[in-house]
Amino acid sequence: MLCRGPSLAAGRRARHHWPMSADDRHIALVSPDERWPLAIDGATFFYRRLSLAALAAIERQQALIVRDQDGRPRQVIPPAALETAICRHALLDWRGVVDAAGRPAACAPGLVDLLPAGARARLAAAAMDIRIPRSQS
C-alpha cells in the first residue's frame, strides 16, 4: 500500500489529523468532501484542495474570460486572475472575516475579490498543495 492513513473508502472523511510521522513522504489524493482549515491573522478559511483536472478547468475558463486586446483567449493568464479563480473554487467558508465597517461578512464567491492579496495568495497556495495539511486549528 502506497498511502498510509485513514481510508476514505472505509467511509471516513479526510479530517484534520493525518496519522503519519513527520518523516513520511506522501502525496495525498484529493477527496471531493475535503474541508481543511487555514488560519490567517485571526481568521479561519475552510477550503478544499484542487485536483489537476479542476485546476486545468479553471485555467481554461480564465483563458476564455480574460481576453487579449484582439478579443482572443490569452495565452498567459495574469497571476492575480488565476489566483482569484482558484480561491473562488476552493473556498468553502470562513470565520473571522469582517467588512469595511467591522461587521462579520458571510462567505460568498464574489467577496473573494475583496480579500487582501496576501490572504488570497496563501489560500490559493494551500488549495494547490500536494499534501494533506497537518493538524491546524
pTM of the model: 0.70
In the Cβ-directed half-sphere of 3, how many Cα atoms lie within 13 Å? Answer: 12
User: pLDDT tens-digit profile of 42-60?
Assistant: 999 999 998 888 888 888 8
User: pLDDT tens-digit profile of 12-42?
Assistant: 444 444 444 455 667 778 888 889 999 999 9
Nearest of 16, 38, 30, 15 to residue 120 by alpha carbon:
38
